[in-house]
Amino acid sequence: MAAESDADIDDFPAEEPDSGTGADGVVEVVEAAEEEFLDDITQLYLNEIGASPLLTAAEEVDLARRVLKGDFAARQRMIESNLRLVVSIAKHYVNRGVPLDDLIEEGNLGLIHALEKFDPERGFRFSTYATWWIRQNIERSVMNQARTIRLPVHVVKELNLILRTLRQLETGAGRPGAGSAEEVAQLIGKPVAEVRAILLASERTASLDAPLDIDPDLTVADAIAAETEGEPDSQAVSKEIELHVAEWVGQLSERQRQVIERRYGLNGFDACTLEELASDLGLTRERVRQIQLDALKNLRKRLSRDRIAKNDVL
C-alpha cells in the first residue's frame, strides 16, 4: 500500500519551532481530545453490554431454534449475549485506520448476519460460527478504509454510509453482492448518479496503490505526492483549528496550560512524557494525567460546539 501523508511530510526539512501553537502539536492535541471522548463512549457501551449474561449451550440451542421461528425476543437475547465477542475480536484490528467504535459496529453487522444463517442442529456453538462472519465484516471495513484514505473527508463519510447500507441490504437478502445503487440511493435519500459517482471514486482511489513499473517499491500515489503541495482548503481548515486551540490554551488554568503546552509541544516547548512532566512539576504521574484529561474534555466541548471534528485537520 502507498505510504501515507506523514511519510511524505518527513521528506521536507524540519522547521524551527515558533511562538505559535505549531501544526503537529495542534493535530496531536485535537486527536487526543477526540480519542478521550471516544474512549468515554466506548467504555459506556462496554459497561452496558457487560450487563448481558452469557448463554449456556442449552440456552443457546433453545434461543436459536426460536430465532428460526421468527421470535424477535430470542433474536435480541442472542445478539446482546454475544456483543462482548464482537468487542473482543474488534480490538485485534485497532490502529489500522478505523476507530474502535466503527470496528464494533461493523462486527455487530457480521454477528447479525451469522445469527440469520446459524443452524443450531449442527452441534457447534454459535460463537464459533459467528467469529468468521464478524472478522469478515471487520476486515472488509479495514480494507475499505485503506482504499479510501486519500479521498476528501466529506466523500469518505458519504462512501461509508453507502457501504454500510449495501452491507445491510446484503444481510437482509442473505447473500453477498445484494443491493444496487438504485436501492441504496432510495434508502439514504441521494440521487442514483451521486451514489454511483462516489463508488467509482473509491475504485479509482484503489488504483493509486498500483506499483510503478520503474520502481515496484513506489506507487502512483508516491509519485503524485512528491509533486503536490497541500490543498488550500485543507490549509485554511488547519489555520481555523490552530486558532481554536490557541484560544483554548489561553483560557486554561496556569497548571493546565503548563501540562498541555509541554505534553504536546505547543508554543515552542518540546513534547515530553507524563513521567517527565510529573518530575518537573513535583506531581504524581496520575495527577498530571488527570489535569491533561480535564483540559482535553474542555477542548472537545469547544470543538463540538463549533462543529469541528478531528478528521477535518488530518
**Residue 229 CA to its chain's centroid (Å):** 26
Quick: pLDDT tens for 124-171.
Answer: 889 888 888 898 888 877 776 665 555 666 676 787 788 788 877 877
Quick: pLDDT tens for 166-195.
Answer: 877 877 766 555 678 888 888 888 888 888
pLDDT at 9: 29
pLDDT at 68: 92
The domains of the chain are located at 18-50+229-314, 52-148, 149-227
Distances (CA, A) of 180 to 48, 140, 171, 173, 187: 35, 18, 14, 12, 11
3-class DSSP state of 55:
coil
Q: pTM of the predicted model, to two decimals?
A: 0.40
3-state secondary structure 209-272: HCECCCCCCCEHHHHHHCCCCCCHHHHHHHHHHHHHHHHHHHHCCHHHHHHHHHHHCCCCCCCC
pLDDT at 210: 46
**CATH architecture for residues 52-148:** Up-down Bundle (1.20)
The whole-number mean pLDDT for each consecutive block of 10 residues of the chain, a chain of 314 residues, reads 38 40 55 56 66 84 93 91 89 78 88 90 86 86 63 71 80 64 87 81 51 42 39 44 65 83 73 82 87 80 58 38
pLDDT at 245: 67
CATH for the stretch 18-50+229-314: 1.10.10.10
User: What gap in Å lies between CA 222 and CA 194, rounded to an integer?
Assistant: 28
